[in-house]
Homo-oligomer: A and B are copies of this chain.
Amino acid sequence: MSVNESAFSVAPPAKAGARSKKKDKASPDKRERILRAAIKVFARKGFYATRVSEIAKAAGVADGTIYLYFKNKDDVLIRIFEDRLTKLLEFLRKETLAIEGVEARLRRIIELQLGLLEGQRDLAEVITVNLRQSSRLLKQYAAPLFNEYLEFIASIFSEGQREGIIRKDVHPRTLSRALWGALDGIALT
């Protein structure tokens, strides 16, 4: 399973029987289209510099439509974190835990991570950049998720320390932060 066709690369779920009912006027995944458009635009211009109208245009919907699916502009960013980060985390867990041995696991994480950061540059950009300078509100929602992510990687380092294959004088949490930072730095190229 490649990273780029991974679970968090959400694709509209196959649209079962073509045009289910009659009208089906509500294009089936307008919400999804908006999220994707938002990721793209947020990545390019940052949250604050992005106009709601730009998201709308990129998604091919009217400005007002955004407010049918999201409470407000902040909410769009929050949902990006929630939807995507959750899926990313699940995916990482599944992929990693299937592997035996701390070193192999870390290699797999790095591999996935770099693959992710390459294939989903936009998403990574949104996560890293916007995590920091956004409103209190956002931080409340997003930070816990990101923390969970770091915690997961830390847990692997922790295991490595117990097994004695990783130096013990650095806190696993610090290691996980350093790893994320390094990978993110690399991917920025």
A129 to B186, CA, bound (A): 16
A188 to B129, CA, bound (A): 13
B189 contacts A185, C-beta separation under 8 Å: no
- Residues on B with beta carbons closer than 8 Å to the beta carbon of A125: 132
- Residues on B with beta carbons closer than 8 Å to the beta carbon of A179: 182, 185
B49 contacts A135, C-beta separation under 8 Å: yes
User: Which secondary structure dominates where chain A touches chain B?
Assistant: helix
Q: Which of A27-35, A40-48, A52-60 contacts B (4 or more CB under 8 A)?
A: A40-48
Among B133, B173, B177, B186, contact of A46 (Cβ-Cβ < 8 Å): B133
A45 contacts B174, C-beta separation under 8 Å: no
A184 to B129, CA, bound (A): 13
Which of A178, A179, A189 is the most central at the interface, judged by chain B CB atoms within 10 Å of its CB? A178
A181 contacts B186, C-beta separation under 8 Å: yes
A175 to B41, CA, bound (A): 29
A122 → chain B closest CB, angstroms: 12
A180 at the interface (CB under 8 A from B): yes
A129-162 interface (Cβ within 8 A of B): 129-130, 132-135
Chain A 161-176 interface mask (CB, 8 Å, partner B; 1/0): 0000000000001100
A183 at the interface (CB under 8 A from B): yes
- Residues on B with beta carbons closer than 8 Å to the beta carbon of A48: 46-49, 133
A176 → chain B closest CB, angstroms: 8
- Residues on B with beta carbons closer than 8 Å to the beta carbon of A129: 129, 132-133
Among B49, B178, B184, B186, contact of A133 (Cβ-Cβ < 8 Å): B49
- Residues on B with beta carbons closer than 8 Å to the beta carbon of A189: 173-174, 177
Would you list the 6 A-B pairs with minimal beta carbon distance, nearest first?
A181-B185, A46-B133, A48-B48, A181-B181, A178-B182, A177-B185
